[in-house]
Amino acid sequence: MHSVLVTGANRGVGLEFVRQLLRLREPPKHVFAGCRTPEDAMELQRMAKDNQTLLIVKLDVSDETTFAESVEMVDKAVGEKGLAVLINNAGILRLGGTETTTLADMEESYKVNVMGPLAVTQAFLPLLKRAAAKSEINSHHLSIHRAAIINITSALGSLQLCTSSKYIPYRTTKAALHMLTQCMTFDLSPAGILVVALHTGWVRTDMGGKTAILSPKESISGMLNVMRYLTEINAGQALTWEGRILPW
Amino acid sequence: MHSVLVTGANRGVGLEFVRQLLRLREPPKHVFAGCRTPEDAMELQRMAKDNQTLLIVKLDVSDETTFAESVEMVDKAVGEKGLAVLINNAGILRLGGTETTTLADMEESYKVNVMGPLAVTQAFLPLLKRAAAKSEINSHHLSIHRAAIINITSALGSLQLCTSSKYIPYRTTKAALHMLTQCMTFDLSPAGILVVALHTGWVRTDMGGKTAILSPKESISGMLNVMRYLTEINAGQALTWEGRILPW
């Protein structure tokens, strides 16, 4: 991976992605950490001070007006090589059952978890296409070493594995994100861009809570390992942090 | 079915549902035709003139402020028996691929196709619960003859059958609706309410276009036949107008 942009990078899974990307044996030349308020992202700021690879980018996935400036910033840094990998990680978890789910939570969840990945993809697509076109990899093959979009998802979005109603705003939007992943694949595979959804597992973050079974370190090292070996066979799939297929 | 409410009943599939419900050998005592602007629903008005069973109800599924009055109207008509069946039929079809889909179409589609069925269900739930509780059917069994919610869907919402990116706003919202159907099932089966999603097939309506393979008559008579035999085994499933399981 020549360059990677991670959205929602100020904490949790996103922050750990940035941390581990910077520590790879062959780290990307550019790691862009997208977050809504860079001035509050203390940990990212601390990391950026020690590492020129990391650039913090102001990016609110549910606010299109923040896109132009961040695209320009990334464009300037990556130049001709384009942006290799976009990790659509920003997401929110809202709870609610049939009687308790609010329409406000439904709407906000859709804006961040589904419209966000679509809008950010649209904004950075010219840079991703550039990376795909400039790649030295055989043009019949897809991989993160050429150009890829990784949509971060959850097993809670799996219809086959649905076992409760507790998370309606989250479950419905992640199911929709799986469909978006599939739809994008039809358009972007021919352009040389691999699209895959990755399930983080249940991770000890603000979102996952303290009782979750995986540390961020375990989840992200698993996902980075899975990402490394993705090919065109995986286009449109949802996979777990261990590389298993997540059933629709 | 003692009583049925159909949303989006002014045309297409919804209008044909109303027409065929009124013509059943044992028609419901009350058929409520929900539509945004009753004053423009000429065909419904014509039908209501000849048939006291039919009541036109002003109901915009994406506008909560229209709910209180319509719930009151239905409540008054059904009384103690409650509302037996809610058919969440209102929906919109917006097209778009990865690069062409607009956020406005995404948002509007989610509001009508997913938040709509949830909000209308929440509004009419007390009446549906009343029907379930008052039913003479053995309380271990679920059926439309007791109380049921039918979410009208499309094979375009099936992840396994996804073959193109053309309908992103529609496909993503119908996948989300399938998840909503499953989640609702966990909450509402114990209350005696059956929740099922039904795929209309590809129907010659304003939405389906002139080249579609099914007439509204064929589609709706198929769905009504499927509905008649639904049991607790079908709770949470998506079925086609022919009664086949629609894969997730």
Structural domains of chain B, with CATH: 3-240 (3.40.50.720)
Of A98, A196, A202, the closest CA to residue A149 belongs to A196
Q: What angle do CA A177, A178, A184 make, to 5 degrees?
A: 85
Amino acid identity, position B108: E
Phi/psi-derived region of residue B94, left when phi > 0, alpha when psi is between -120 and 50, beta in every other case: beta
Q: Least CB-CB distance to A101: which of B110, B118, B163?
A: B118
Q: Beta strands of chain B (E only): which ranges?
A: 3-6, 30-35, 54-58, 85-88, 148-153, 194-199, 238-240
Model confidence band, residue B148 (pLDDT cutoffs 50, 70, 90): very high
Residues of A within 8 A of B111 (CB-CB) are 107
Could you tell me what percent of chain B has a pLDDT over 70? 100
pLDDT in tens, chain A (248 residues): 899 999 999 999 999 999 999 999 999 999 999 999 999 999 999 999 989 999 999 999 999 999 999 999 999 999 999 999 999 999 999 999 999 999 999 999 999 999 999 999 999 999 999 999 988 777 779 999 999 999 999 999 999 999 998 999 999 999 999 999 999 999 999 999 999 999 999 999 888 888 999 999 999 999 999 999 999 999 999 999 999 999 99
pLDDT of residue A26: 93
Q: Which two tokens stand for residue B244?
A: 């086949």
Flag if A179 and B184 touch (Cβ within 8 Å): no
* B184–chain A Cβ distance below 8 A for any pair: yes
Residues B20 and B46 sit within 8 Å (Cβ to Cβ): no
Q: Which of A63, A66, A95, A98 to mutate to test the interface with B (most CBs of B within 10 A)?
A: A98
* B122–chain A Cβ distance below 8 A for any pair: yes
Q: What is the distance between the alpha carbons of residues A213 and A186, in angstroms, rounded to a whole number?
A: 35
Mean predicted lDDT score pLDDT of chain B: 96
* B63–chain A Cβ distance below 8 A for any pair: no
Residues A157 and A13 sit within 8 Å (Cβ to Cβ): no
Reported ipTM exceeds the 0.90 cut: yes
Give every CB contact of residue A41 below 8 A, 6+ residues apart in sequence: A9, A10, A33, A35, A56
pLDDT of residue A15: 97
pLDDT at B137 over 80: no
pLDDT of residue A137: 76
pLDDT of residue A65: 94
Q: Least CB-CB distance to A180: which of B99, B122, B172?
A: B172
Q: What is the distance between the alpha carbons of residues B99 and A89, in angstroms, rounded to a whole number?
A: 20
Amino acid identity, position A25: R
pLDDT of residue B206: 86
Phi/psi-derived region of residue B198, left when phi > 0, alpha when psi is between -120 and 50, beta in every other case: beta
Could you tell me what percent of chain B has a pLDDT over 90? 92
* A121–chain B Cβ distance below 8 A for any pair: yes
Give every CB contact of residue A151 below 8 A, 6+ residues apart in sequence: A88, A117, A177, A180, A181, A195, A196, A197, A198
Please name the helix (run of DSSP H) or strand (run of DSSP E) that holds residue B227, with its range, or none. Answer: helix B216-228
Model confidence band, residue B200 (pLDDT cutoffs 50, 70, 90): very high
* B121–chain A Cβ distance below 8 A for any pair: yes
pLDDT of residue B140: 77
Alpha carbon separation from A114 to B4, B61, B71, B117 (Å, rounded): 33, 21, 32, 19
- B85-108 pLDDT, tens digit each: 999 999 999 999 999 999 999 999
Q: What is the distance between the alpha carbons of residues B10 and B40, in angstroms, rounded to a whole number?
A: 9
Q: Beta strands of A63-193 (E only): which ranges?
A: 85-88, 148-153
Buried b (16+ CB within 10 A) or exposed e, A227-240: beebeeebbbbbbb
* B164–chain A Cβ distance below 8 A for any pair: yes
3-class secondary structure, A147: coil
Poorest-pLDDT segment among B25-39, B100-114, B207-221:
B207-221
Q: How far is A115 from chain B (nearest CA, A)?
A: 7
3-class secondary structure, A8: coil
Q: What is the distance between the alpha carbons of residues B22 and B43, in angstroms, rounded to a whole number?
A: 14
Flag if A184 and B107 touch (Cβ within 8 Å): no
pLDDT at B138 over 80: no
Q: How far is B196 from chain A (nearest CA, A)?
A: 14
Q: Mean pLDDT over residues B215-234, rounded?
A: 96
Residues B28 and B53 sit within 8 Å (Cβ to Cβ): yes
Q: What is the distance between the alpha carbons of residues B82 and B132, in angstroms, rounded to a whole number?
A: 8
What's the number of CA atoms in the CB half-sphere (13 Å) around residue B196?
A: 29
pLDDT at B24 over 80: yes
Q: What is the distance between the alpha carbons of residues B32 and B175, in angstroms, rounded to a whole number?
A: 27
Q: How far is A138 from chain B (nearest CA, A)?
A: 24
* B172–chain A Cβ distance below 8 A for any pair: yes
3-class secondary structure, A139: coil
Q: Least CB-CB distance to B183: which of A118, A168, A178?
A: A168
pLDDT of residue B90: 97
pLDDT of residue A245: 97
